[in-house]
Amino acid sequence: MTEVGWDADPDVAGWRGLARLGEDLRADVCVVGLGGSGLAAIGEVLRRGLSVIGVDAGRVAAGAAGRNGGFLLAGPATGIHRAAARWGPDAALELYHQTLAEITDLAGLLGPEVVRRVGSLRIAGLPGEPVAESEAADREAELADCDQQYDFLREHGIEVRRYDGELGTGLFLPEDAAMNPARRALGLATRYSSESSGARLFENSPVTAIGTGRVRTPGGVVSAGLVVVAVDGRLEVLLPELTGRVRTARLQMLATEPVRAGRLPCPVYGRWGYDYAQQDQAGRLFVGGGRDRFAEQEWTPHADPTEGVQAWIEQVAARFAGGPVRVSHRWAASVGFTEDGRAVVTEARPGVIACGGYSGTGNLVGPVAARAAVALGLDGTAPAACFSS
């Protein structure tokens, strides 16, 4: 029950794995973390014709990169209209367009079987009638916020449609996409570690020390001119100097046995984005949320499911399914948040660039931030205003 539901996919279950680092090695760049952002950094280094070594404490995407909702949503964690009010319109729009391009690039790299360009749906509240006056009031407030988001997107030429249907009322974003996040990461790792690409990637090689030009693991030391730490959850544990800028939270999910096929036509999120679900082609629901209802206990580096949050998510799953569900898997993951929602791209130590704190949107913001981290480390290019440097 505590296994990750995404790992039941045959392509993930059949992963043969990568070797542990077992000797001292040298490369132009060493990337710490083999999730979505780390793999994007590796791809960028390879594109520049440089040598790269990547290490991860566990399996590729064993952390949040393979345990999230599988949403590919353009833009920041908060609605783009809210980010624009906080960061400025130019910064919010730049991130939106960069993440939108990331969806297209991923679809080209991995194909339609992995990246399904089906759009996404934001609804006010949860499907079904409100069960309390407070829920009804919150839904009305969220409907007003949907109107503001719609107006901002239309004003800036971004495609959006009103939605009023079986699942509720809200917005449809047709350019977004869905995926199995573990399958995405393993596909990229396979691609980049092939003989033609030449990256050297190592699983089950936890980092014990990071310094200028050196990354130490139990099995060997990697020497490199640049170190990129592309880790979201627990980033402030690995690099304590980022304490206060990034804070680790636990996100929890579950998977169900198949429900009515086509119930969710695309990734769906509601209640201000705190609760979310997508349905795979076999009819299974992958559902997460509830962090705000247990906020203090979810600010933690621990990544085990808890009874209270899981009970809430099970109720959410039934709302999304339109009826009772049977749970097949439960799991959790660690992710990083920042105070203003901007991901961190910064030189944490001399020659050590860190990126993280994606605030729950690492599937797309992470890769964009990782490329900015590589540019900062190799070219001295300052990150865009949509990142915190």
In a domain, 105, yes or no: no
By the 10 Å C-beta count (0-12 exposed, 13-18 middle, 19+ buried), 157 is classed as: exposed
CATH number at residue 279: 3.30.9.10
Report the DSSP beta bridge partners of residue 330: 254
Same domain, yes or no, for 198 and 224?
A: yes
The closest of 2, 31, 80, 378 to 205, measured between CA atoms, is 31
- Total of domains in the chain: 2
The pLDDT tens digits of the residues spanning 316-347 come to 999 999 999 999 999 999 999 999 999 999 99
In a domain, 98, yes or no: no
In a domain, 112, yes or no: no
> Among residues of the chain, what percentage have pLDDT more than 70?
99
Same domain, yes or no, for 275 and 132?
A: yes
Cβ atoms 387, 345 nearer than 8 A:
yes
Same domain, yes or no, for 286 and 166?
A: yes
pLDDT over 80 (residue 20) = yes
Kind and range of the H or E run holding 250: strand 247-256
What φ, ψ does residue 354 adopt, rounded to 5°? -115, 145
CATH number at residue 61: 3.50.50.60
Same domain, yes or no, for 304 and 361?
A: no
In a domain, 239, yes or no: yes
The pLDDT tens digits of the residues spanning 165-198 come to 999 999 999 999 999 999 999 999 999 998 888 8
User: 138 lies in which domain range?
Assistant: 119-176+246-337
Same domain, yes or no, for 17 and 153?
A: no
